[in-house]
Structure 1
């Protein structure tokens, strides 16, 4: 009998965990001939999440939990879950029930047909503003044009991964992670399922625009050097026009004897060039910061407790 792990990263999700568990159990009951593990990752929650996870495990031995020592972020919580998952396949799903667990039987069906990565693509996205949808679309469009990796658009973390995909992802131990890009990077045989995304079942989203912007920067710097190339291109273009401007100024002064003037235009040019230089330094700094973090080679996370046992 094959084992399927349903992995759920959770951060301050006390309002939705019982509902999530009930819906997962309803789905599992419809899929016979499989052994299921429900693996919940507590990412340093400040509410009653960990106590609810312990209670669920007491009532159901198929429930497992990993309690991280602090809040490391969803990307790290997911790799922690993959490290502890026991299944022949792992299904990643968010705790907020925006991704319907009822798609799990279809994912398993396609997995049995030979697909290694069965991912759910959003057809519609209820409960999200037009601005968020528009910025998301533009970001993925930009990323697809600037990277050699075919990044999946309108696709989150909700997917089934075969064990060989899981083992491939476990080998990628970089500290600053963009898992959505990693799913595409590892390749393997993929299958798309379309669905309509629901609003959150309860609680509030943890993704404000600042965090989304940070995630976008992670995605860009992880999978493309396009910003560095653009900085070099800007430098060459500006240097070329600056050289032409210098020749024009010198020629004009020699031929017509114009006095030195133009303080406003001079300040405009200086400020413009200064802005371009700071922008380029900022881009270089982003990549340099990633190198700095990777060279420290710190563990990605620490676990405080796994299934009622303290981890030493």
Structure 2
């Protein structure tokens, strides 16, 4: 027979066991409450240097200061941003691996049919960071002084214009392809390994023009080494205020480069919302805002859902440009 003491002990254990699920917090809630408890990787899928690094390090320093753990920039370049993107998609969805998302992600969704991942399903949108206009720059010896004259010159000299880009399938390349389609002109596309060598050849006259981010070309324009004909956004750039939008001449034309933050799919909502709140706060910090303005960038604020909607819109926009250009990765 079971003694009274043993019986009561058995009942107490059973009741405690039944009660545990009621009071045990969900694992994700526990993780979110302690977040961050160790350093966070911020993957930049490009080489070090340039606007991507500047923007990332500005935000990471702010997050480190505010949240008490290091947010460490990790450059992981290759395959048009796809290597870094895939690494983040494959990471645990715990908030400790983040991705600097960009225009490349929106373009590659339709440009590269061989992608081993689905960006829209693999990455949870966290927050926007900034949008950067592009600018059409030309060699100073080219007779065209504005967009209308550039179009007229291209039509009068078919096959004589060469336009550089930072690589096939980039926003710089496809901005040129969209221009060709809407203006009804032809020019030869010359891809380079990055923006700098392309700009060098435009200045020397080996190449006649280039669509480039204002961040990397505005100083050359200000120094008189290149002539700027038009910016690709509908609004003028704050660092090139005298350069009109291309859309003023070419109706319907609009492109830009954008950057934001993503995390692996199924990252806890509490972590996403915390990061979104802190990133938005960083973007209105006067010191950070001044640095963003100096880059010619425009902050992108809003909640995670709004950034997700923007990603969807940009992906569709670039899908149409890819279709219009007829250019796809082989």
Q: Structure 1-normalised TM-score?
A: 0.28
Greater RCO (CA < 8 Å, at least 6 residues apart):
2
Give the TM-score, by structure 2 length.
0.27
